[in-house]
């Protein structure tokens, strides 16, 4: 299941296994994190220019921002 959170300057997304029988996310089975900086983006996300944005998930300089957004996303998807 893909989940995303968007703040003023960032969009963080992650793909996790969905436990259908429990209707819950399996946080231990997540992969493919994505973190995009949209600081200069003043309009809605335009998929035609998506190549302009670079996925910085996993970069050492983005660790704090990624951790914050991951926690924010988990908080939003807890039941």
Domain range for 7 = 2-77
Q: Say if CB 35 and CB 69 are below 8 A apart.
A: yes
pLDDT of residue 58: 92
pLDDT of residue 38: 81
**What mean pLDDT is predicted for residues 9-22?**
89
pTM: 0.76
Number of separate domains in the chain? 1
Q: What residues have CB less than 8 Å from 2, skipping those under 6 apart?
A: 13, 14, 15
pLDDT of residue 13: 94
């Amino acid at each position: 299941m893909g989940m995303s959170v968007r703040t003023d300057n960032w969009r963080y997304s992650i793909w996790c296994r969905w436990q259908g029988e429990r209707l819950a996310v399996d946080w231990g089975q997540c992969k493919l994190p994505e973190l995009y900086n949209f600081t200069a983006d003043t309009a809605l996300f335009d998929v035609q220019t998506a190549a302009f944005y670079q996925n910085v998930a996993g970069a050492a300089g983005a660790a704090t921002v990624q951790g914050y957004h991951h926690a924010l996303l988990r908080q939003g998807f807890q039941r």
